[in-house]
Amino acid sequence: MSFRVSGLAFYLAAFLVVLCVLIVVHELGHYLVARYCDVKVLRFSVGFGRVLWQRRVGRDQTEWALGLFPLGGYVKMLDEREGAVDVSELHRAFNRKSVGQRSLIVAAGPLANFILAILLFWAVFIYGGNELLPILGTPAAGSPAAAAGIANGEQVRAVDGQAVQTWNDFRWLILQKAVAQESVDLELINEAKEIALRRLDLKAAGEQGWEGDALERLGLAFFRPKIPAVVGKLVGGGPGERAGLRVGDLVRAINGEAVFTWQELVIRVRNSAGQSLRLEVLRQGDIATVDVVPEAVSERGRSVGKIGVAVAENGDTRRELHTFVRYGFFAAGGKALAETWDKSVFSLVMLGKMLTGEVSWKNLSGPVTIADYAGQSARLGVDYYIKFMALVSISLGVLNLLPIPVLDGGHLMYHMIEVVRRRPLSERAMEIGQQIGLSILFVLMAFAFFNDINRLISG
């Protein structure tokens, strides 16, 4: 797994914060619109199972509760289908409201998640931050990027005429294009300020059912500057430190073969898991040799070597690879809306491709994977964590709008049928629908948990 037991509490805390915020916002959407439509709310619960805390508040004495398992929540409203209702309160029962009002109450939960995502993206875009420039590295031999003629150091200016500012923008656009079309035109500029147009074949992105890194399959990698192989940091107790490497060591050769850049060192180490390497280093003007055995680490289903060292910071190179991106208030709002819309549509498209078999079900993630990503994004910084929360909020909104009974989308489907039939479905029909919906959700959860366990085992 990509996080250690020692950091489990941090990852769990990051996950629970995301989960609780998104559940509260979702259920608050249902609650506020229900109150607006004068529906009596009996209970507002975050979590299921044993009640850890509860309190009655307001003129309706709504019960606010916190359950033991925070993997969901619910808003229980007054409804004749769930129990006897006093005659004086019939007008406040959910089932007595118009189909339009009921639909509005049901849709308010997912809508609240989309609004939250917009606000989170908006805040991040206004605050701004350092982003990697879209500079391409040397593509793998035989890859579509190599066939397109892409060279190391070329910077992307536009994708199919759409301007690109950052590496994240470029990555997102390529994924979107790869889902919808077979090729894309890249406008590039090299270090000599020469502009070139390359046509990139995107068909390889969808190989293996979109499992893994699509950009890697296309041969698109970030630029690797020619940084000297100087040790900047050592992981305490790691193979490098145990072998005797020191901060400031310049690695000149590995097993007698010359090393000129940090990238060359990384490639040799990654390809030598469990094998002894003799490093020739320059240390304070003297030559020394260090024998180190890279530790085997599982990464994307394959074993790679690591020795627990990091490159020495290079300020000039760092500045050349980054740009500070910040938007004005209204521009940030527009970008936040576009970001939320694009990612919502992309989620639906990918779900559709899962159903048709074009996308592997292995892409479905469960709570363990989400917890892992929550912890990783939190470690990277507040802006990454907020973006991650926005992405999960979008996913929650999209998932709940699917026309599956027991989900909000299923209830909206019932309401649409009611409009067409001019009368509600029978209770028996809805019971059957509930059973089908629960079965579908069970299958989806089983796939997600299986994928989590598989990732846990394979790393």
pLDDT value at position 301?
Answer: 54
CATH classification of 129-225+315-325, choosing from 2.30.30.90, 2.30.42.10, 3.40.50.2300, 2.40.30.10? 2.30.42.10
Task: Note the pLDDT tens digit of each residue in 78-107.
Answer: 998 888 889 989 999 999 999 999 999 999
Contact 365/451 with Cβ under 8 angstroms? yes
Contact 335, 311 (CB under 8 A): no
- Tell me, yes or no, if 27 is annotated catalytic: yes
Q: Which residues of 164-187 are buried (b: 16+ CB within 10 A; e: fewer)?
A: bebbebbbbbbbbbbbeeeebebb
pLDDT value at position 406? 87
More confident residue, 296 or 327: 327
If you average pLDDT over every residue of the chain, what do you get? Answer: 88
End-to-end Cα separation, the chain, in angstroms: 5
The model carries a pTM of 0.81
Closest CA to 139 of 213, 218, 227: 218
CATH number for the domain formed by residue range(s) 231-313: 2.30.42.10
User: What confidence score (pLDDT) does residue 302 get?
Assistant: 67
Helix spans in 138-292 (H): 144-147, 167-180, 214-218, 239-243, 262-270
pLDDT score, position 380:
83
Kindly report each contact of residues 282-289 with a partner whose C-beta sits within 8 Å and lies 24 or more positions away, as own/partner: 282/249, 282/250, 282/252, 283/246, 283/248, 283/249, 283/250, 284/248, 287/252, 288/249
Mean per-residue pLDDT for 202-228? Answer: 81
Tokens of 80: 């004749």
Please report the pLDDT score of residue 2 as a whole number: 42
pLDDT digits (tens, 9 = 90+) for 148-181: 999 888 999 999 999 999 999 999 999 989 888 8
Question: Is residue 398 predicted with pLDDT exceeding 90?
Answer: yes
Query: Is the per-residue pLDDT at 411 higher than 70?
Result: yes
Section 314-321 average pLDDT? 61
Q: Rounded to an integer, what distance in angstroms lies between the CA atom of residue 153 and that of residue 386?
A: 31
Q: Is the pLDDT of residue 303 over 50?
A: yes
- Give me the catalytic one of 27, 154, 295, 339: 27
Q: Do 392 and 22 contact (CB within 8 A), yes or no?
A: yes
pLDDT at 314: 64
> Does the pLDDT at position 224 exceed 80?
no
- Percent of the chain at pLDDT > 70 equals 94
Grouping H, G, I as helix, E, B as strand and the rest as coil, residue 189 is strand
Share of the chain above pLDDT 90, in %: 50
Pull the structure tokens for residue 163: 């301007």
CA–CA dist 101, 28 (Å, integer): 16
Model confidence pLDDT, tens digit, residues 255-291: 999 988 888 888 899 888 889 999 999 998 889 999 9
- Average pLDDT for residues 4-11, to the nearest whole number? 66
**Whole-number pLDDT of residue 6:** 46
What is the distance between the alpha carbons of residues 30 and 11, in angstroms, rounded to a whole number? 29
pLDDT, greater one: 301 or 303: 303
The pLDDT value recorded for residue 278 is 93
pLDDT for the residue 147: 92
pLDDT value at residue 315: 56
What SS3 class is residue 142? coil
Assign 92 to helix, strand or coil: helix
Give span(s): CATH 2.30.42.10, the chain: 129-225+315-325, 231-313
